[in-house]
Chain A
């Protein structure tokens, strides 16, 4: 057991930090530091910069363009990238569909899709949830029927909560291909071109005012046979693998660490009842408690990665990923709560600019405090809600 970094690992950290410093556009850095989510252009620009360096797909095998990093290096990269306030590499591509193709797709399909997924020439979105299939994902109804004459799939149905469908070139889709037997055994996994006739994207506005998510409608959408991953009716297995990977990426420890440091800086300059907030014992308690939990989460995340590297079965999700999903969501949410608590009444103005510029008061971070708090309630809901994760722990770890 060795928790300290070797001089080589520290040198790697410096290399990553220097690269980010030299290449991350100031505009992106400043925009994200104010608490905004990255725009599509910012994500694409930074993803492509990382891709050119060979760093956009840290967990992929070298054969498919991964950098061949150790778990520690992956962790350092992720931490530095998040701490610098840079956009993450596009997660649906790099963390979800890419690994599924690498694990389960034919060589032909890998060759067709992986390079463009890695480079973000194809922006993928995730077509899993439906209005009637949320936590009970396997009850999904969006169907693909085999068209023998055209040797293709015909897709009909609706997906929802589809993040950044408005940006996407492709969608990876869970579809019902059989209604016989167990519901999990009639699901297949398709890749669908978003420009196909019959695909319609309808925006959904979230309570913070943002447009991240959408409903996607499919009406007689034709999908070539070659766009099916693996075998027909085996899609549930691939989906579970994907969800395990999604949970692994959930904690965003580096981002929470950066938020906590930012809070400290704000607290030092913010005068509350005659002294800096930093010197108020109740704030200091909250800060330290968050730091302790975050340190534990950092160690738990590394522990899971370390045991995966040490040879745990890669094709099945480790139930410990449910632990880090729950804690990761909790910490992200805790950070957003703390920003609202620090902003106090200055968090009240809604600053969409509709009534003119007069709505903008206070520091730049203040206007994002409440919207981010509202927005990040999502993190204990998506990727399998806290309650779904507890169900997984009960069954897979405790045998209940």
Chain B
């Protein structure tokens, strides 16, 4: 057992952090958000050029065969820089869903993602869906014509490859739709944390079914697990930056003739946030290792435990960051509010605290 990163992992972290430091400060982020589709394709291309999209794919698929630890390193840097692009869809979700596909399907889709030509997303949630992975109302015919409505699809209007969960004649299946395919209607919007998403409706839309790999339900569960691990990493990066920003602010802000950071009441609030962030860091590492576990139940319970911890810590760190900034923390102008909003969206992404508490409670908790 050890918690240290190896040399290659440290290099990955350094090079991505440097790239984001150069290209993704808070002002640049505003410019990207104002572009058509809410992102800059050159940045997506830049990620591909750094090689990060090759990490999660196996060597057979044309990738580098990295583990979820690499995805964690990427996620932490993305969270820290508050990036908007659907990197987790490319690095956590797509490689997992593709496990339901044939070797040819995996290799051809991987090629597009690794090279930066493909912006993938997953149309999974539906309006009125009460549990994740069940109650799918979208249907697929035997020849793959899809009909139904999907909600909050990340970059749903911009993505050129859409994985769709649907019920076919043989039960739950995974289907791939090309961006701009016939019968797809997108109602696009911005999200609370500055990303883009869309409601997508399909009306006899042609698709390609993933066949030849593991069962769709298994691939979906794997995608959810890895997406949760990505959420842990991204939220860790957000918390680190939120604490840094807050500490910088209270060092500089003067009231009553002195820096407010010299007041013990504020110091102890900030120190409490550090304690919570450190617990999240531990759980992000645990999640990244456990999401590759071959025991699906142990994997899912571990990810649920991580998410519960993240939800509690996110409230504490996010809310204290705004509180210690005072009035300026409320403004659109300061970065801190944007970190708070991202953290809040990550709390509810891929199952909220109640969903994961239920899953743990029903199983009687983690294995002893």
Our pick among B267, B274, B285, B309 for the contact of A3 (Cβ within 8 Å) is B285
* CB of B360 closer than 8 Å to a CB of A: yes
A282 to B224, CA, bound (A): 27
A292 to B262, CA, bound (A): 34
A71 to B270, CA, bound (A): 30
CB distance from B65 to the nearest CB of A (A): 16
Residues of chain B lying within 8 A (CB to CB) of residue A208: none
A399 to B271, CA, bound (A): 11
A302 to B6, CA, bound (A): 17
Interface residues of B, dominant DSSP? helix
Contact A72 B1 (CB under 8 A): yes
Residues of chain A lying within 8 A (CB to CB) of residue B281: 300, 303
Residues of chain B lying within 8 A (CB to CB) of residue A257: 368
* CB of A297 closer than 8 Å to a CB of B: yes
With A296-B279, A299-B282, A387-B268 known to touch, is A9 a contact of B1 (CB < 8 Å)?
Answer: yes
Contact A299 B285 (CB under 8 A): yes
With A394-B268, A400-B262 known to touch, is A306 a contact of B4 (CB < 8 Å)?
Answer: yes
* CB of A106 closer than 8 Å to a CB of B: no
Sort chain A's interface into a size bin: 35 or more
CB-CB contacts below 8 Å: B257-304 with A: 261-262, 264, 267-268, 270-272, 274-275, 278-283, 285-286, 288-290
Residues of chain A lying within 8 A (CB to CB) of residue B285: 1, 3, 299, 303
Our pick among B1, B4, B69, B309 for the contact of A293 (Cβ within 8 Å) is B309
Our pick among A261, A288, A323 for the contact of B360 (Cβ within 8 Å) is A288
* CB of B43 closer than 8 Å to a CB of A: no
CB-CB contacts below 8 Å: A1-16 with B: 1-5, 9
Contact A393 B3 (CB under 8 A): no
CB distance from A127 to the nearest CB of B (A): 29
Residues of chain A lying within 8 A (CB to CB) of residue B251: 399-400
CB distance from B307 to the nearest CB of A (A): 9
A326 to B305, CA, bound (A): 20
* CB of A295 closer than 8 Å to a CB of B: yes
Contact with A along B223-235 (1 / 0, CB 8 A): 0000000000000
CB-CB contacts below 8 Å: A69-91 with B: 71-72, 75
* CB of B11 closer than 8 Å to a CB of A: no
A326 to B285, CA, bound (A): 21
Contact B1 A306 (CB under 8 A): yes
A390 to B276, CA, bound (A): 12
* CB of A281 closer than 8 Å to a CB of B: yes
Contact A1 B309 (CB under 8 A): no
With A292-B308, A306-B2, A390-B272 known to touch, is A284 a contact of B361 (CB < 8 Å)?
Answer: yes
With A284-B361, A292-B308, A295-B305 known to touch, is A307 a contact of B4 (CB < 8 Å)?
Answer: yes
CB distance from A205 to the nearest CB of B (A): 32
Residues of chain A lying within 8 A (CB to CB) of residue B282: 296-297, 299-300, 303
* CB of B172 closer than 8 Å to a CB of A: no
Residues of chain B lying within 8 A (CB to CB) of residue A303: 3, 281-282, 285
CB distance from B291 to the nearest CB of A (A): 12
A138 to B364, CA, bound (A): 48
Contact B1 A300 (CB under 8 A): no
Our pick among A1, A261, A390 for the contact of B4 (Cβ within 8 Å) is A1
A95 to B365, CA, bound (A): 33
A303 to B284, CA, bound (A): 12
* CB of A149 closer than 8 Å to a CB of B: no
Our pick among B247, B262, B357 for the contact of A398 (Cβ within 8 Å) is B247
CB distance from A81 to the nearest CB of B (A): 17
A293 to B247, CA, bound (A): 25
Our pick among A5, A281, A284 for the contact of B1 (Cβ within 8 Å) is A5
Sort chain B's interface into a size bin: 35 or more
* CB of A152 closer than 8 Å to a CB of B: no
Q: Which residue of B lies closest to A325 (CB)?
A: B275
A285 to B268, CA, bound (A): 28
Residues of chain A lying within 8 A (CB to CB) of residue B288: 1
Contact with A along B346-365 (1 / 0, CB 8 A): 00000000000100110011
Residues of chain B lying within 8 A (CB to CB) of residue A361: none
A302 to B364, CA, bound (A): 25
A288 to B305, CA, bound (A): 9
Residues of chain B lying within 8 A (CB to CB) of residue A75: 1
Q: Which residue of B lies closest to A299 (CB)?
A: B282
With A285-B357, A391-B267 known to touch, is A323 a contact of B278 (CB < 8 Å)?
Answer: yes
A278 to B357, CA, bound (A): 15
Residues of chain A lying within 8 A (CB to CB) of residue B1: 2-5, 9, 71-72, 75, 302, 306
Q: Which residue of B lies closest to A394 (CB)?
A: B267
Residues of chain B lying within 8 A (CB to CB) of residue A400: 247, 250-251, 261-262, 267, 270
* CB of B34 closer than 8 Å to a CB of A: no
Residues of chain A lying within 8 A (CB to CB) of residue B5: 1
* CB of B366 closer than 8 Å to a CB of A: yes
* CB of A110 closer than 8 Å to a CB of B: no
CB-CB contacts below 8 Å: B159-181 with A: none
Residues of chain B lying within 8 A (CB to CB) of residue A300: 278-279, 281-282
A113 to B210, CA, bound (A): 70
Residues of chain A lying within 8 A (CB to CB) of residue B279: 293, 296-297, 300, 323, 327
A323 to B313, CA, bound (A): 14
* CB of A352 closer than 8 Å to a CB of B: no
Residues of chain B lying within 8 A (CB to CB) of residue A287: 365
Residues of chain B lying within 8 A (CB to CB) of residue A281: 361
A293 to B288, CA, bound (A): 17
Residues of chain A lying within 8 A (CB to CB) of residue B308: 288-289, 292
A293 to B278, CA, bound (A): 12
Contact B361 A390 (CB under 8 A): no
A68 to B311, CA, bound (A): 40
Contact B271 A394 (CB under 8 A): yes
Our pick among B69, B280, B368 for the contact of A261 (Cβ within 8 Å) is B368
Would you mind naming 12 contact pairs between A and B with Cβ atoms under 8 Å apart? A3-B286, A5-B1, A295-B305, A296-B283, A297-B279, A300-B281, A302-B1, A306-B2, A310-B4, A323-B279, A399-B247, A399-B251
Q: A3-B290, A281-B361, A295-B283 are in contact. List 8 more A-B contacts (CB 8 A).
A: A291-B365, A292-B309, A299-B286, A303-B285, A306-B1, A306-B2, A309-B2, A399-B251
Top 6 nearest A-B pairs (CB, nearest first) are A299-B282, A390-B271, A394-B267, A393-B271, A296-B279, A306-B3
Q: Show the binding face of A for B, using Cβ within 8 Å.
A: 1-5, 9, 71-72, 75, 257, 261, 264, 278, 281, 284-285, 287-289, 291-293, 295-297, 299-300, 302-303, 306-307, 309-310, 320, 323, 326-327, 387, 389-391, 393-394, 397-400
Q: Show the binding face of B for A, using Cβ within 8 Å.
A: 1-6, 9, 69, 243, 247, 250-251, 261-262, 264, 267-268, 270-272, 274-275, 278-283, 285-286, 288-290, 305, 308-309, 357, 360-361, 364-366, 368
